[in-house]
Amino acid sequence: MKIGILTGGGDCPGLNAVIRAVVRKGIFHHQDEFVGFLEGWRGVMEDQTIRLTLDSIAGILPRGGTILRTSRTNPAKKEGGMTQCLETLKRQAVEALVVLGGDDTQSVTYRLHEMGFKVVGVPKTIDNDLSGTDFCFGFDTAVNIATEAIDRVHTTAEAHNRVIVVEVMGRDSGWIAIYSGIAGGADVILIPERPFDLNDVAETIRHRHARGRYFSVVVIAEGARLAAGIDEQIVAEKGKKDEFGHVRLGGIGTIIAQELEKRTGFETRAVVLGHIQRGGSPTAFDRMLATRYGIGAIDAVHRSDFGKMVALRGTNIVTIPLKEALSRTRTVGQDLIDVANGLRENANRPL
């Protein structure tokens, strides 16, 4: 069978491990042939491809990024874009497509499925916010990087009597913030799911320092929202949107640090982790999960289980309808918020 593979959206540690697993099982067990589309949906629209062979995937398991490169190209937003994709797939004689991506990328996969093309999705996002799966690969790596950063920030904050605000990724959900915040012992964790009041955060820090502590660490997701106050536009970089309509985030940590310093009188600094969380080698957990997803995807292709996304449910790899994965953003639940609050002196104030 001739199978196409692409990686779309932001990169994510483990993409190469998925590609490797799909190609190895496909060639060793089914004599499949593979074509890799370059730079996400752009490669499908513009017919930019490479052959994926055992040689071209050798040694990629521990490598971050993606050998297919990626983009946020959205063919559904371009006139005739979807038809162009179908034409390329026909020209390349591709019989099925395995798509590695988050909700934006998979929304295009679903469009192709509705147009009758055979597709299987693999959930990818360090934000961990895709529905229908317990974990996306890449998330564990991001959490480990963020936790290590919080540990390091702790010792320097303590040495200098400072408050340090650590900004992590997470546009619509605070998974990275809450996992790394709890694992790193942060004093305040701010996530998009719970809009917060700066006066409450300042009061939490003042209170902690009043009982003898002389430093604090705040973890904030880039998409965290203020209950009232600073205009969102100050936080987002004005005007810059991707093809899926998302404003480029980043910078809320710096603004919050300035405001906290004003309100508490304690010296406050900000650290923005940004793409450091997405780069580099995947953890062993992510390599395992990515490999299991890859095997699950090629197995789905050969069972003709199309229009589906592979997913982790408990400890099992299953397939779920793509539509279910796209139905809503998976946000942090009350159970984890309760864990974070259980560790805090005054849980009435925001996380």
Catalytic residues: 127
The SS3 of residue 58 is coil
Q: Which is nearer to ligand F6P, 74 or 204 (CB)?
A: 74
- Cβ-based neighbours of 99, under 8 Å, separated by 6 or more: 5, 6, 8, 105, 106, 108, 109, 119, 120, 121, 122
Residue 303 φ then ψ, to 5°? -95, 0
- Least distance in angstroms from the C-beta of 87 to ligand F6P: 28
At its nearest, how many Å lie between ligand F6P and the CB of residue 196?
A: 19
Q: Which is nearer to ligand F6P, 88 or 109 (CB)?
A: 109
In this complex, which beta carbon is closest to ligand F6P, that of residue 202 or of residue 224? 224
Measured CA to CA in angstroms, residue 159 lies from 88, 168, 215, 271, 285 at distances of 59, 23, 9, 16, 33
Measured at the CA of 133, the angle between CA 272 and CA 135, to 5 degrees, comes to 40
Residue 100 bridge partners (DSSP): 7, 122
- 127 lies in the site for ligand F6P, by CB under 6 A: yes
Considering the complex, what minimum distance in angstroms separates the CB of residue 277 from ligand F6P?
Answer: 7
Q: Does 15 bind ligand F6P (CB under 6 A)?
A: no
- Looking at the Cβ atoms of 86 and 247, the one nearer to ligand F6P is 247
Measured between alpha carbons, how far is 306 from 118 in angstroms, rounded to an integer? 6
Among 126, 153, 290, 295, binds ligand F6P (CB under 6 A): 126
| Range list of H helices, the chain | 15-30, 41-46, 81-91, 103-114, 139-160, 175-183, 198-210, 232-235, 252-264, 284-302, 322-326, 334-342
The residue count for binding ligand F6P (CB under 6 A) is 12
Nearest to ligand F6P of 81, 250 (CB atom): 250
x/- map, 138-177, ligand F6P, by CB under 6 A:
-------------------------------xxx------
Query: Closest distance between ligand F6P and the C-beta of residue 272, in Å?
Result: 12
- Nearest distance, CB of residue 206 and ligand F6P, angstroms: 31
**Radius of gyration from C-alpha coordinates of the chain:** 22
CB count within 10 Å of CB 151 equals 14
Among 248, 263, 302, 349, binds ligand F6P (CB under 6 A): 248
Whether 127 and 172 have beta carbons less than 8 Å apart is answered as: yes
* Residue 7 found at the interface with ligand F6P (CB under 6 A): no
Closer by beta carbon to ligand F6P, 78 or else 248: 248
Q: For residues 306 and 53, what is the distance between their CA atoms, to the nearest angstrom?
A: 24
Give the footprint of ligand F6P on residues 217-246 (CB under 6 A).
222
DSSP states along 96-156: EEEEEE-HHHHHHHHHHHHTT--EEEEEB-TT--BTT-S--BTHHHHHHHHHHHHHHHHHH
CB of 142 to ligand F6P, least distance (A): 8
Determine which residue in the list 7, 125, 216, 268 makes contact with ligand F6P, applying CB under 6 A: 125
List 10, 36, 101, 121, residue binding ligand F6P (CB under 6 A): 10
Cβ proximity to ligand F6P, 250 vs 321, nearer residue:
250
The span from the CA of 303 to the CA of 299, in Å, is 6
Instruction: List the x/- string, 273-312, binding to ligand F6P by CB under 6 A.
Output: -----x----------------------------------
Could you say which of 249, 289, 300, 325 contacts ligand F6P (CB under 6 A)? 249
User: Where is 166: in which H helix or E strand?
Assistant: strand 163-168
Are 263 and 202 in contact by the 8 Å Cβ rule? The answer is: yes
* Interacting residues with ligand F6P (CB under 6 A): 10, 102, 125-127, 169-171, 222, 248-249, 278
